[in-house]
């Protein structure tokens, strides 16, 4: 946990929009030094200019978080400029939908690359330098937050690739928490599991790398994109609200961070199905009209 953010260094991926941008704004308000990372140059430049105007010391880097070499260079740049960061927010992510057998190899590579490998690189590169800082200073404190999703605790249909990546991030984060507890009391970890929150993730296709474009979207992918966009746009919890929850969790040493705790009833039902070896329950039991709409659309009815 971190009880005082003044003068501390934060590394934020996906910093050009959504949770990353809002956490950058809170970090600026609290006097942090910011390392802003995004793949979209215009959004990154705007975020950096805003932070600098607020009086922050900023290091901005355009990085594809799925690329090991680019992330390794980022880690070197951060260490050279600021030393070990105190707060690492492995947050960059992209959305993807469709029936799981209809996703192309390009779909899998892109979404796994950003959502999972981006987190893996952040953990493998920054954790060792943070642990070294902790060993050299008993008063040093740090924290890592990885962005997963409620889709990492549930399995909404027609979102298979995304679900797979977010379940993996939850598992990685829980394991990181336990592994850290074996070796230090100075460095903690959290996992962020937001539900439908307006960010920029429904427009992820704008940042798909050249050479990784799949075929034209299948009907199921178009249906998923439309339904997700509608759900996200109707969200009542803002990215700023979630960013405040992230900082609260870092200060309190809280592991699980939820944007919509009311959705945990579905998680409990899923866990009970697992414990009792029941077949997975209807994910639309509480909203049957949504399930009927999706089935009709997919079956052409």
Specify the DSSP element, H or E, that contains 9. strand 9-13
Predicted confidence at residue 205, as pLDDT, reads 53
Whether residue 88 is contained in a domain is answered as yes
DSSP code of 117?
A: I
**Do residues 243 and 29 touch, judged by C-beta distance below 8 A?**
no
Q: What are the residues facing 240 on neighbouring strands?
A: none
Q: Is 296 exposed, middle or buried (0-12, 13-18, 19+ CB in 10 A)?
A: exposed
Residues recorded for the chain: 301
Whether residue 227 is contained in a domain is answered as yes
Predicted confidence at residue 202, as pLDDT, reads 45
Predicted confidence at residue 208, as pLDDT, reads 55
Whether residue 268 is contained in a domain is answered as no
Whether residue 280 is contained in a domain is answered as no
Predicted confidence at residue 214, as pLDDT, reads 54
**Do residues 294 and 221 touch, judged by C-beta distance below 8 A?**
no
Q: Which domain holds residue 218?
A: 9-262
CATH for 220: 3.40.50.720
CA distances from 57 to 33, 54, 68 (A): 5, 9, 26
- The region that residue 71 occupies, defined by phi over 0 for left and psi between -120 and 50 for alpha, beta otherwise, is alpha
**Interhelix angle for 118-136 vs 68-82, to 10°?**
30
Cα atoms in the Cβ-side hemisphere of radius 13 Å centred on 215: 8
Q: Which residues of 51-76 are buried (b: 16+ CB within 10 A; e: fewer)?
A: beeeebebbbbbbbbbbeebbeebbe
Whether residue 39 is contained in a domain is answered as yes
Whether residue 78 is contained in a domain is answered as yes
Whether residue 277 is contained in a domain is answered as no
Alpha helix segments (H runs only) across the chain = 18-29, 41-53, 68-82, 105-111, 118-136, 160-183, 219-233, 239-252, 264-275, 288-298
Predicted confidence at residue 159, as pLDDT, reads 93
CA distances from 71 to 11, 65, 166 (A): 12, 6, 20
Tens place of pLDDT per residue across the chain (301 aa): 899 999 999 999 999 999 999 999 999 999 999 999 999 999 999 999 999 999 999 999 999 999 999 999 999 999 999 999 999 999 999 998 999 999 999 999 999 999 999 999 999 999 999 999 999 999 999 999 999 999 999 999 999 999 999 999 999 999 999 999 999 999 999 999 999 876 655 454 555 566 555 567 887 888 777 777 766 666 678 999 999 999 999 999 999 999 999 989 999 999 999 999 999 999 888 888 888 888 888 888 5
The predicted model scores a pTM of: 0.92
Whether residue 294 is contained in a domain is answered as no
| φ, ψ (nearest 5 deg) of residue 40 | -95, 110
Q: Which residues of 132-151 are buried (b: 16+ CB within 10 A; e: fewer)?
A: ebbeeeeebbbbbbbbbbbb
Predicted confidence at residue 66, as pLDDT, reads 98
Cα(14)–Cα(182) distance, integer angstroms: 30
DSSP string covering 169-228, please? Answer: HHHHHHHHHHHHHHH-SSEEEEEEE--S--SSGGGGGGGPPTT---SSPPHHHHHHHHHH
3-state secondary structure of 232: helix
* Number of domains, the chain: 1
Cα(195)–Cα(201) distance, integer angstroms: 12
Q: What are the residues facing 257 on neighbouring strands?
A: 192
């Amino acid at each position: 946990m971190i009880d005082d953010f003044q003068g501390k260094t934060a590394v934020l991926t996906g910093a050009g929009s959504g949770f990353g941008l809002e956490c950058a704004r809170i970090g600026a308000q609290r006097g942090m030094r910011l390392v802003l990372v995004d793949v979209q140059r215009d959004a990154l430049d705007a975020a950096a200019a805003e932070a600098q105007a607020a009086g922050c010391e900023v290091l901005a880097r355009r990085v594809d978080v799925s690329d090991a070499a680019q992330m390794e260079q980022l880690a070197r740049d951060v260490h050279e400029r600021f030393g070990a960061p105190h707060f690492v927010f492995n947050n960059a992510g992209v959305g993807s939908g469709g029936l799981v057998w209809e996703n192309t190899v390009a779909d899998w590579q892109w979404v796994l690359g950003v959502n999972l490998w981006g987190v893996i690189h952040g953990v493998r590169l920054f954790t060792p330098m943070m642990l070294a800082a902790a060993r050299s200073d008993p008063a040093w404190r740090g924290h890592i937050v990885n962005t997963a999703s409620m889709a990492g605790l549930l399995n909404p249909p027609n979102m298979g690739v995304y679900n797979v990546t977010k379940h993996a991030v939850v598992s990685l984060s829980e394991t990181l928490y336990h592994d850290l507890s074996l070796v230090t009391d100075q460095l903690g970890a959290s996992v962020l599991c937001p539900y439908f929150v307006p960010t920029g993730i429904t427009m992820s296709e704008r940042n798909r790398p050249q050479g990784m474009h799949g075929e034209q979207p299948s009907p199921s992918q178009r249906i998923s994109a439309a339904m997700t966009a509608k759900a996200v746009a109707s969200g009542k919890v803002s990215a700023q609200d979630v960013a405040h929850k992230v900082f609260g969790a870092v200060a309190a040493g809280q592991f699980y961070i939820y944007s919509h705790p009311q959705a945990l009833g579905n998680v409990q039902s899923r866990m009970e199905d697992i414990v009792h070896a029941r077949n997975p329950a209807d994910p639309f039991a509480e909203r049957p009209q949504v399930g009927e709409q999706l089935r009709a659309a997919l079956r052409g009815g």
